[in-house]
Structure 1
């Protein structure tokens, strides 16, 4: 099991787009349910509230796993490390467990930001480092650019989008994938297959989707403000989808439903 899976117990509570009291309350519920891994980012504008929420939890530092991400605007040599230090100040932490590059840099040259990420790791500002929204070729290039282990490539990953190219690259490079938009922002619930499969396991459609992601070897990142949903998203470790049901869900990836397109994020790379 890779270090990212170990640190997050494969399930992370995402904080986007929550802010202020709504975020702190949701984090409190998540911790009561059992979450110990929390994901934020400079781009989300909620690192301070996430730090407040972590303080409210009162959990020992060694029991929690905190991920944040460096905004592309801070990929310059003068901005990178100060921005990470500012993130730590907002989070009230001496280090983050996982520090990610939030996007590939505009222009496509991934080396400078990766080398700065490695510096943050060497300085002890992060226990682990990773990337997000990298293509397969970027993953292959990244492992040649820096020696420090890259513990995650956080990408859009759900059963309505075929990410076999990235999964193959994860195996090739040793960079595990982690998911965002894990239930395709609710789009999966328009497809009856997931509820149909769930009925056979006594699980919801959403739990089936999350379990499928886990069985693909991808850790999950989910967010809700409702206790029932937070609990359901966490309770996905007590059943295993059969190979037949996995194959049925695999077929749904041909739907080709991608949320993060260039229309939504103009600086997105050309996806695999």
Structure 2
């Protein structure tokens, strides 16, 4: 079974853009709420806070699934391993559970960084490898480059953006998707349909959105600094959206609201 669909791992607590005591308090609240999967990245600048907070939770190492991501600036042969070792030092870990390439390289040539990712696994720096923000063509290339299974492609995924083409491509190549910007940075709350659907289940709009993602077969990353919202985001496994409600939400994907593009991030590829 994919690591992201073991136990509680399909619901991860994302740490972007949290830093300092805010990050620490949120991570501790997430652990208390039941989260056991935690997501950070070199790019976030909060691996040290994340490591300190995770150590303070008192959780056993084998209870947690910890993901970090390599910054594309570190994709060179001389920088990659050193950057991962710095990440491990900051996280207070001997290895991460999942190491991702945060973005494709700006030239689109994915093989060299994938080979370095494989090397990191071979050296025991991570137990699993994955990618983020890869297109279908990049995923197809990736599975021919590395020997280890690619456990996820973490992408923008929410009900205001139609990602069915990407999801079908990921399924074809055998790479599960996981979501970031799962509630579209709050944009979903401008659409009354989610609250209306939630009323029938005794759930909030956010819980409906997250449940829809899970039922699409995509694991989720969510972030909040409010303990009540952290708990609510985790508490989405005790109801199932009907086919009618799933279809109603599906119509909203035609909104075409994409947050992350090349105007925001220089490494963003030409999306599928």
Give the TM interval when normalised to the shorter protein.
Answer: over 0.9
1:14 matched residue in structure 2: 14
1:77 matched residue in structure 2: 77
2:244 matched residue in structure 1: 244
Asked if 1:30 corresponds to 2:22, the answer is: no
Q: Name the CA distance, whole Å, in 2 between partners of 1:109 and 1:267.
A: 12
1:130-171 deviations in Å (ceiling 9; x for gaps): 000000111111111112100000000000000011111121
Q: Name the CA distance, whole Å, in 2 between partners of 1:80 and 1:10.
A: 27
2:171 matched residue in structure 1: 171
1:187-243 deviations in Å (ceiling 9; x for gaps): 000000001100010000000000000000000000001011001100000000001
The count of corresponding residues between Structure 1 and Structure 2 is 272
Give yes or no for contact 2:110–2:138 (8 Å, CA) kept in 1. yes
Instruction: Give SS of 1:113's match.
Output: helix
Instruction: Give SS of 1:171's match.
Output: helix
Q: Name the CA distance, whole Å, in 2 between partners of 1:142 and 1:7.
A: 27
Q: Name the CA distance, whole Å, in 1 between partners of 2:97 and 2:218.
A: 18
Give yes or no for contact 1:7–1:37 (8 Å, CA) kept in 2. no
1:114 matched residue in structure 2: 114
TM-score (norm 1): 0.98
Question: Following superposition of structure 1 onto structure 2, how do residues 21-170 of structure 1 map, counting pairs within 5 Å?
Answer: 21-170=21-170
TM-score (norm 2): 0.98
Q: Name the CA distance, whole Å, in 2 between partners of 1:260 and 1:8.
A: 27
1:269 matched residue in structure 2: 269
Instruction: Give SS of 1:138's match.
Output: helix
Deviation (angstroms), 1:7: 6.4
Give yes or no for contact 1:80–1:116 (8 Å, CA) kept in 2. yes
Deviation (angstroms), 1:2: 2.2
1:203 matched residue in structure 2: 203
Q: Name the CA distance, whole Å, in 2 between partners of 1:179 and 1:9.
A: 13
Deviation (angstroms), 1:58: 1.5
- Which structure 1 residue ranges, 4+ long, deviate > 3 Å from structure 2? none
Unaligned runs of at least 5 residues, structure 2: none
Give yes or no for contact 1:136–1:169 (8 Å, CA) kept in 2. yes
Give yes or no for contact 1:7–1:65 (8 Å, CA) kept in 2. no
Q: Name the CA distance, whole Å, in 2 between partners of 1:76 and 1:124.
A: 19
Give yes or no for contact 1:129–1:149 (8 Å, CA) kept in 2. yes
Unaligned runs of at least 5 residues, structure 1: none
